[in-house]
Structure 1
Amino acid sequence: MTQVTEPTRYGDGLAVVVVTYFPGDDLERFLDTLEKATVRDVRVVLADNDSTDDALDKAARRKNVQLLRIGKNLGYGGGANRGVAELDDSYGWVVVANPDLEWDPGSLDTLLDVAERWPRGGAFGPLIREPDGSVYPSARLLPSFGRGIGHAVFGKIWPANPWTRAYRQERAPEERTAGWLSGSCLLFRRAAFESTGGFDPRYFMYFEDVDLGDRIGRAGWQNVYAPSAAVTHIGGKATSRAPKKMLAAHHESAYRYLADRHRGPAWKPVLALIKAGLAIRLKIETRGG
């Protein structure tokens, strides 16, 4: 007789997992603004990908902040998984975020209010502003061959092309479901995160959020865009330490995402062309720099 395992029941506790890699002063600003983003008690786990940064020790002296030194660089998704694994079952809500964020006052409480309205919501993403105040298109459709190739080919030279516009879903912010949400700031219902196995650690950087958004949807949960909550993402500091390596990781992750979803002999010629095209694009984009 097969024994049925009861699903884990999680409490209402709130935790924030911050994936760090030489965060510098950004981490202090993140924690300062987080204090004003919610009235709830928050446990913060700094999942550090092998950086040597005085900011980490300073941050760890704060109340309810735990420094988890992983000891090697697992990438964003791998670091997030390790941070979530530190939490016991009393934490039913988990934010995974970059340290280079500024929270609007009350924004995390607003995000939690939205989550209560969507009982099948597994992941919730706020409106994300750029430093200049513009809105980043953080809630998008899942990539397809048509949209993906059109966006890849024309995205930089013709930003208003129909494939990019469709993929990025650039329209007036409204509360809605999406194919995937930007991983720079995500609130997860713990049950949904654990039921999908969390982030796929094969994605070192980039597309780990696209992949997880797809798997959350396949598992019967929803990805919900919540523009009534807002954060500002400074961005770029971690990736700027090794831009060529990060660009290569982006192209590798893009290929992995497509290859994982298009298996079998019939897809091999198409995937070979895509792999060659990505290699050429990488060579052009890194040439001379």
Structure 2
Amino acid sequence: MSPATDEPVRVICVTYNPGPELDDLARSLRTATTRPVHLVLVDNGSAGDRPEQVAAAHGGTVLRAGENLGYGRAANLGAADGDEPWLVVVNPDIVWEPSSLDLLIDAADRHPGAGALGPALLNPDGTVYPSARELPSLTQGLGHALFVRLWPGNPWTAAYQRRQESAQAGERTAGWLSGACLLVRREAFAAVGGFDPGYFMFFEDVDLGERLGRAGWHNVYVPSAHVTHVGGTSWRERPARMISAHHASARRYLHRRYHRWYHAPLRLAITVGMAVRERVELRATRRTPRA
């Protein structure tokens, strides 16, 4: 039986004071798939009406959360009232290449055990961002956290990121896939309860990938599908909040992974180490003038 080409897709985009990049996302989505698309913009408290403007111009629905729910909780809200078999969670600063979403769904038909699938995530200069990674072990996680800024090519970071050398590499499974652009089978998403709302921002995709794996689903990287990620548009004016949110989510993830009673000294060490690292990064941000 040939794959269905008329199954609808729900594309969920969480917004927070978006700029013109949201128009670029919606415009590129038109050629990303031939399937019916329901674009849902979940707004986390934007001051303006750009989400409504984009929805009116390109077709879509705006859900106003009324407050900043965080990324995962808002994405869950966007998925809640539909019945489309395919969910796409995407950042507002993603640009789809033609047919890229169809390529992801076609790959899902080839991999019926895939709960989540991710495309090759390209930087604006065309290089490939390492968006399909292994779940971090304790040594890899600590080595990556401590040395990535001073020694980007360190072996712990290389092992953790499992760098893709080319967007033309073959399809493969991964521990988790970047939530910047993620196709999720609704059945799998519902089976694990969606994103953990306890993560405000960052690590919700790592946690989702791990829980999908534990539930028997695969995370599949599909490098034939290309999207470009501009990166960080909603946080450029708020670097301190981004740093604090990242460290809070990292602590939550590691504490939940090492939750047994005999891990208590390790959790304490993680808490202290993360606090020191956060303070150093915040201090460096205050010293660095913004362009």
Q: Aligned letter for 2:283?
A: R
Residue in 1 that maps onto 2:79: 84
Partners of 1:239 and 1:282 in 2: CA distance: 17
**2:155 aligned with 1:162, yes or no?**
yes
**2:59 aligned with 1:43, yes or no?**
no
Instruction: Map 1:23-34 to 2 at 5 A.
Output: 23-34=18-29
| CA positional deviation for 1:49 | 0.5
Residue in 2 that maps onto 1:235: 231
Aligned length: 277
Partners of 1:82 and 1:159 in 2: CA distance: 36
| 1:42 and 1:64 in contact (8 A); partners too | no
Partners of 2:35 and 2:266 in 1: CA distance: 50
| CA positional deviation for 1:243 | 1.2
Partners of 1:265 and 1:69 in 2: CA distance: 41
Partners of 2:282 and 2:45 in 1: CA distance: 26
Residue in 1 that maps onto 2:257: 261
Residue in 2 that maps onto 1:102: 95
| 1:24 and 1:53 in contact (8 A); partners too | no
| CA positional deviation for 1:60 | 2.0
Structure 2 unaligned runs (5+)? 1-5, 287-291
| CA positional deviation for 1:264 | 2.4
Residue in 2 that maps onto 1:273: 269
User: Equivalent residue of 2:35, what SS?
Assistant: coil
Change (3 A) 1:141 1:232: same
User: Equivalent residue of 1:197, what SS?
Assistant: coil
Runs of 4+ in 1 over 3 A off after TM superposition: none
| 1:124 and 1:225 in contact (8 A); partners too | yes
| 1:199 and 1:212 in contact (8 A); partners too | yes
**2:178 aligned with 1:182, yes or no?**
yes
Among 111, 114, 122, the residue aligned to 2:107: 114
Partners of 1:217 and 1:158 in 2: CA distance: 31
Partners of 2:157 and 2:76 in 1: CA distance: 31
| CA positional deviation for 1:153 | 1.1
Among 125, 129, 132, the residue aligned to 1:132: 125
Greater shift, 50-59 or 116-125, is seen at 50-59
Partners of 1:258 and 1:226 in 2: CA distance: 28
| CA positional deviation for 1:190 | 0.4
Greater shift, 239-248 or 157-166, is seen at 239-248
Partners of 1:63 and 1:184 in 2: CA distance: 21
Partners of 1:105 and 1:111 in 2: CA distance: 12
1:36-81 per-residue CA deviation (whole Å, 9 max, x = no partner) reads 1111110100011011223212112146400111111011101100
Instruction: Tell me the TM-score normalized by structure 2.
Output: 0.93
User: Equivalent residue of 2:196, what SS?
Assistant: coil
Residue in 2 that maps onto 1:150: 143
User: What RMSD in Å do the two structures reach over aligned CA positions?
Assistant: 1.2
Q: Aligned letter for 1:253?
A: S
| CA positional deviation for 1:33 | 0.4
Greater shift, 56-65 or 225-234, is seen at 56-65
Change (3 A) 1:198 1:209: same
Residue in 1 that maps onto 2:134: 141
Partners of 2:107 and 2:177 in 1: CA distance: 15
Change (3 A) 1:17 1:110: same
| CA positional deviation for 1:15 | 1.0
Change (3 A) 1:63 1:134: closer
Among 226, 232, 246, the residue aligned to 1:250: 246
| CA positional deviation for 1:121 | 0.2
| CA positional deviation for 1:265 | 2.2
Partners of 1:192 and 1:123 in 2: CA distance: 8
Identity of aligned residues (%): 52
| CA positional deviation for 1:13 | 2.1
Greater shift, 47-56 or 139-148, is seen at 47-56
| CA positional deviation for 1:263 | 1.4
| 1:155 and 1:161 in contact (8 A); partners too | yes
Partners of 1:27 and 1:237 in 2: CA distance: 10
